[in-house]
Amino acid sequence: MNTQRLFLRLQRFNTLLPALLTLLLLAVMVWELLPDMRGRGRETVDPPVGIAAGSTASEHSASAKAVPLDIRTSHIDAGPNILVMNIVAPKEDGSHYESKSTEIRNLLFLNDGSEKAIWLFPDASQAITRLESLNNEDTKTPIALYLETEPRPYKDGSSSRANTHLVSPDGLRKRAIATELDHILSHRQHGQTLQLVYQKGKTVRVMKVSLTSFETLSDRVVATLSEVGK
């Protein structure tokens, strides 16, 4: 009788053994995939220098001035598949723009068709004082983003030099078109061309830039300060 029970138990064990091995194999496969699944979200964004992000920040951030930053949805419409986020910080003393308590230090571009987010600047050492979308006159779709920036931290007792940039709506292309400017007098869009009037030193210049290639089409002097009043 005991021998018969033993054979019955062995027969049941042999029947269940393939199922147990299958479950064990599935458990091992799931365990191997878990680290990749946990780490996938953290690898999509690599914060630039100056953004406090714990262990994921760049190694160079240790030597940069850390500033408390926050993220906000931008007013810029970069297209149906692009979401632009403003990275803001408390406004420093001496800023010319006193209407708000924060200023934009960087932009983050999120694309529906890509798992990789794009930072506009490598650090948070400048403030974006103007951000506009330049659109196609017929389709009203964005051609480029126009930015004006000033360096931070703000230098006491001196005027901050301005810089101008063109950026593609998806953030993949960018160019500093005019830098170290004393004053930006005006900017206008004429079809596929941007016209920029600025003062640098004792000269006033007019620059024209292609909004498709970001190439400078012309950059000429129209006046000097010594000529004013003559």
Give CA–CA dist 193/159, Å, rounded.
Answer: 29
Does the pLDDT at position 42 exceed 70?
A: no
CB contact set of 223 (below 8 Å; sequence gap of 6+)? 203, 204
Q: Quick: pLDDT tens for 101-148.
A: 889 999 999 988 777 889 999 888 889 999 999 999 888 889 999 999
- pLDDT at residue 96 greater than cutoff 90: no
2 vs 69: which has the higher pLDDT: 69
Q: Let me know how long the chain is.
A: 230
Q: State how far the alpha carbon of 63 is from the alpha carbons of 55, 89, 124, 186, in Å.
A: 15, 19, 13, 37
pTM above 0.85, yes or no: no
Would you list the domain boundaries of the chain? 54-227
Count Cβ atoms below 10 Å from residue 203 Cβ, excluding itself. Answer: 16
Q: pLDDT band at 12, cuts 50/70/90?
A: low
Helix (H) or strand (E) holding 82: strand 82-90
pLDDT average, residue stretch 162-185: 95
